[in-house]
Copies of this chain bind each other. A is one copy, B any other.
Amino acid sequence: MTKPKTWTLKSIAKELGVSNATVSNAFNRPDQLSKARREEILAACKKLGYFGPNKAAQSLRRGTFNIVALVLPDSVEYMVSDPVASSFMRGVSAVLEKNGINLLLFSGNNDNLNSVVDFVDGFICYGRPRNKQLVEQLKQVAKHVVTVDFNIGRDASVNVNNQQASFDIAKHALQKNDDRVAILGLRLLDNDVLCRVYEHHEFEAGQSIAHQRLRGYHQAISDAGITLGDDRTWNIPESSERFASIAAKEALSSTPRPNVLLCMSDLIALAAMREALKMGLSIPEDVKIVGFDGIDEGQRFVPKLTTVHQNSEEKGRIAATLFLSKEQQTAEIDYQLQLGQSS
């Protein structure tokens, strides 16, 4: 006489003629009953089609979920297209999967964490969320939080020295003090508009990745004895082929035509290279182009892109490992200059 078609701990215990604590122990606390008894119960459950305690109820009771939310800076939709973000996710998921933890994707466009906060053990935040209210809540939320590429004084964080890396790559690209430099920046401004940027003073204290990189560029430009015109910086609102191409075309058509293009992502640099080639320019003779990230496509392109390689996958692994260990610490990730033929 089998009972309901969907078993619960209670109903299965009754069916087996044991107390529900015994069934619970059989699944969760092997030390609380004899091995024989345990296996007998497990076998009986399996035969009846009971696969173990309901996870939702278990979580409500225990307060743990085996789910971590990956908070993306933008919409999930947008993030999935970014090869750098994808690498990061790969690293995170590799570690979590190995530990039986599931990954919930959460958009940084959300106003708050409410819809997931009660379902997860904590948050790994990849980049500062676009929505500022969300950032405020992340500072306070009573769960474990690991931040990546930004810092809000929470449990742990993983960072790359963006400023130093940008300095290095720019230093490498700039060789003569009569170089004409232009910067193709990624998300320098809050608003979603593709345009030149004039208000440079705003960036001096900015903590976003873009601002850190900009400072690195500026430092190298200044070190090279070059003066950067105040109309030589573009803001690209998102790392897409389309926007990048438009900005690159604009920059390469501007007067004086730049002979060095500092690009804040490889996707942008690749788009710039395509535009330059399309305009009949030689790389690097007419224009040197450097990127940032070190994505595969850049290394396959002809000419090979000179860029900063940051190991995003490792960044993901470290972030996940830090999350699991609950260590409170700040990790700094290495980067390498990857010299190609584009500079």
A residues apposed to B, CB below 8 Å: 6, 51-52, 54-57, 59-60, 65-67, 75-78, 80-81, 86-87, 89-90, 93-94, 97, 100, 102-107, 109, 112, 114-119, 142, 241, 274, 296-297, 300
With a cutoff of 8 Å between Cβ atoms, the chain B residues found around residue A97 in the complex are 75-77, 107, 109
5 A-B pairs with CB atoms under 8 Å apart are: A56-B59, A77-B93, A80-B93, A93-B105, A102-B116
CB neighbours (8 Å) of A89 from chain B are 76, 80
Q: Which residues on the B side are within 8 Å of A104 (C-beta)?
A: 67, 102-105
Q: Give the distance in Å from the alpha carbon of A300 to the alpha carbon of B109 in the complex.
A: 31
Partner of A80, one of B6, B90, B241: B90
Contact in complex: A76, B52 (CB < 8 Å): no
Cross-chain contact A60 with B56 (CB below 8 angstroms): yes
Are the CB atoms of A94 and B115 closer together than 8 Å? Answer: no
Smallest beta-carbon distance A99→chain B, Å: 11
Whether the pair A81, B77 counts as a contact (CB closer than 8 A) is no
How far apart are the CA atoms of A135 and B312 in the complex, in Å?
32
The answer for the CA separation of A60 and B109 in the assembled complex, in Å, is 27
Q: Are B57 and A76 in contact (CB under 8 A)?
A: no
CA separation between A71 and B340, bound complex, in Å? 39
With both chains docked as a complex, state the minimum distance between the C-beta of A279 and any C-beta of chain B, in angstroms: 16
The 10 closest A-B pairs by CB, nearest first: A76-B93, A55-B118, A56-B118, A77-B94, A103-B105, A80-B86, A80-B89, A80-B90, A77-B90, A54-B118
User: In the assembled complex, how far is the CB of residue A202 from the closest CB belonging to chain B, in whole angstroms?
Assistant: 30
**Of B100, B106, B300, the contact of A274 (CB 8 Å cutoff):** B300
Closest chain B residue to A57 by CB distance?
B60
- Whether B100 pairs with A66 at a CB distance below 8 angstroms is no
- Measured between alpha carbons, how far is A104 from B89 in the docked complex, in Å? 13
A102 in complex: contacting residue of B6, B90, B105, B274, CB < 8 Å: B105
Q: How far is the CA of A316 from the CA of B86 in the complex (A)?
A: 18
A93-B80, A300-B274 known; A55+B119 contact, CB < 8 A: yes
Is B119 in contact with A103, judged by CB distance below 8 angstroms? no
* Residue contact B112 to A66, C-beta cutoff 8 Å: no
Task: List 17 extra interface pairs beyond A65-B119, A76-B89, A274-B300, CB under 8 A.
Answer: A6-B142, A52-B114, A54-B118, A55-B116, A55-B119, A56-B118, A59-B119, A76-B90, A76-B94, A76-B97, A77-B93, A80-B89, A93-B105, A102-B115, A102-B116, A104-B104, A105-B105
- Counting chain B CB atoms within 10 Å of each CB, the highest count among A67, A102, A105, A296 belongs to A102
Can you name the residue of chain B whose Cβ is closest to the Cβ of A96?
Answer: B76
List, in ascending order, chain B residues with CB within 8 A of A103's CB: 76, 104-105
In the bound complex, do residue B75 and residue A93 qualify as a contact, i.e. CB atoms below 8 Å apart? yes
Would you give the shortest CB distance from A157 to chain B, in whole angstroms? Answer: 22
A270: nearest residue on chain B (CB-CB)? B300
